[in-house]
Amino acid sequence: GEDVEQSLFLSVREGDSSVINCTYTDSSSTYLYWYKQEPGAGLQLLTYIFSNMDMKQDQRLTVLLNKKDKHLSLRIADTQTGDSAIYFCAEIITSGTYKYIFGTGTRLKVLA
Amino acid sequence: DSGVTQTPKHLITATGQRVTLRCSPRSGDLSVYWYQQSLDQGLQFLIQYYNGEERAKGNILERFSAQQFPDLHSELNLSSLELGDSALYFCASSEGTGGLLEQYFGPGTRLTVT
């Protein structure tokens, strides 16, 4: 099946690190993405990782991929109030026709 | 501002009706994607068009249809509307199709079916 699961809520204090987790079920995924949705806005691509990579770092963002466990995580260092948003992981399955599967989204609340 | 525009911003209509949502992609983008975001279903990919042709299909109901016109704008038609169709409908666009994509999302159209 093609399911991407995330925990629904995460609350952290400003300055702490946030870790948002995602599990996926389709091992044929070539690319995995993290998107951010701010209130009242569309989704914005944050970062992505190729399935042959274990880790990718991009400024305050670190993406970790464990292909064996089909687990993806997004770590935000020094979390700021502006990071409060919904974060979606997504996979684009490219075997046959393309399918874009998004997770349920994790609502991150940053407390001042 | 992503460069993707969607109209209208809000739409309220009754069950059984038909509506058309419109999307203009970023300049130069050939692909348009439609998504539905609802509280119970999350974000669902509906359909993708590339340069006027249907490219990929997701969980799009038979009551829904879409097309992409020669000027690359796209319309999503929703008919025989039901209460459960109330959702945010997003359009996204990208330059190409397949491989690594960066989809730019529009601000969405909020549809309320009463």
Q: Rounded to whole angstroms, how far apart are CA atoms B34 and B99?
A: 18
Q: Do B2 and A98 touch (CB under 8 A)?
A: no
Q: Rounded to whole angstroms, how far apart are CA atoms B36 and B59?
A: 9
In this complex, is the C-beta atom of A42 within 8 Å of any C-beta atom belonging to chain B?
A: yes
- Å between B13 CA and nearest CA of chain A: 21
For residue A45, give the nearest of B35, B43, B102 by CB distance: B102
Q: Rounded to whole angstroms, how far apart are CA atoms A42 and A109?
A: 18
Q: Which amino acid is at A13?
A: R
Task: Tell me the pairing of strands A9-13 and A106-111.
Answer: parallel
Q: Do A99 and B45 touch (CB under 8 A)?
A: yes
**pLDDT, tens digit, for every residue of A1-25?**
567 889 989 999 999 999 999 998 7
Where on the phi/psi map is residue A63: left (φ > 0), alpha (ψ -120 to 50), or beta? beta
Hey, what's the torsion of the CAs at A52, A55, A56, A59, to 10 degrees?
180
Q: What is the pLDDT along chain B (114 residues), one digit of tens a residue?
A: 789 999 999 999 999 999 999 999 999 999 999 999 987 778 898 999 999 999 888 889 999 999 999 999 999 999 999 999 999 999 999 988 764 467 889 999 999 999
Burial class of residue A41 (count of CB atoms within 10 Å of its CB; 0-12, 13-18, 19+): middle
